A and B are shown apart, each in its own frame.
Chain A
Amino acid sequence: MPTNTPSPPLLDVHDLCVSFTSRGQVIPIVENLSFSIGEQEILGLVGESGSGKSVTAMALMGLIDAPGVHVSGFARFKGQDLLGLSGKQMRALRGREIAMIFQDPMTAFTPVYTIGWQIDEQLRAHQSLSRRQARTRTVELLGEMGVPDPANTANRYPHQLSGGLRQRAMIAMALSCNPSLLIADEPTTALDVTVQAQILDLMRRLRTTYGSSVLLITHDMGVVAETCDSTLVLYSGRAAETGTTQDLFAHPQHPYTAALLASIPPMNGPRPTRLPAIPGAPPQPLERPTGCAFAPRCTYTHASCLPAPPPRFARLARRIRLPACCPRKGIPSPSAFAPAQHLFCEKPHAVPFPHRAGGSSSLIFRCNAAFAGGKGCLQDLQPQTRANTPGGRWRLLYRYARRGAGSCRGIRLRQVHTGALPAAA
Chain B
Amino acid sequence: MIMPLLRRLGQTVFVLFGISALVFAVFFATPGADPTARIAGRNAAPQTMEKVRKEYGFDRPLPVQYAIMMKKLFITRDLASYANRGELVVPEIMRAAPVTLSLVSGAAVIWVVLSIGMGVVAAACKGSWIDRTLMMAGLVGISIPVFWLGQVVNLITQNRYHDTWLFSWVPGLGYVPFTQSPCGWFLALVIPWCVLAVMFVGIYSRILRADLVAIMGEDFIRTARAKGLSPTRILLRHGLRTALITFVSLFGMDFAQLVGGGALLTEVVFGLPGVGRLTYQALNSLDLPLIMATVMYSAVFVVLANALVDAAYLFLDPRVRDAH
Contacts and interface: CB of A to CB of B under 8 A. Distances in A.
Contacts of B322: 157, 159-160
Given A67-B127, A121-B229, A102 B238 contact: no
Contacts, number: 76
B242 interface: yes
Contact of A108 (B219, B245, B318, B319): B219
A100 to B, nearest CB: 4
Given A107-B219, A110-B220, A157-B318, A95 B242 contact: no
Contacts of B229: 91, 95, 121-122, 125
B228 interface: yes
Contacts of B127: 67
B70 interface: no
Nearest to B239: A110
Interface string A61-97: 1010001000000000000000000000001111110
A111 B226 contact: no
Interface string A346-376: 0000000000000000000000000000000
Contact of A109 (B223, B225, B226): B223
Contacts of A173: 227
Nearest to A114: B318
Interface string B284-324: 00000000000000000000000000000000111100100
User: In this complex, which of B220, B224, B228, B238 has the most chain A Cβ atoms within 10 angstroms of its Cβ?
Assistant: B228
B237 to A, nearest CB: 8
B134 to A, nearest CB: 19
B226 A159 contact: no
A150 B222 CA distance: 25
Interface residues of B, number: 24
A164 to B, nearest CB: 17
B226 A112 contact: no
Given A112-B241, A157-B319, A159-B319, A94 B219 contact: no
A90 to B, nearest CB: 8
Contacts of B238: 110
Interface in A110-160: 110-114, 121-122, 125-126, 157, 159-160
B131 to A, nearest CB: 13
A99 interface: yes
Given A63-B225, A160-B322, 8 more contacts: A63-B222, A67-B127, A100-B223, A102-B223, A110-B242, A111-B318, A125-B233, A126-B228
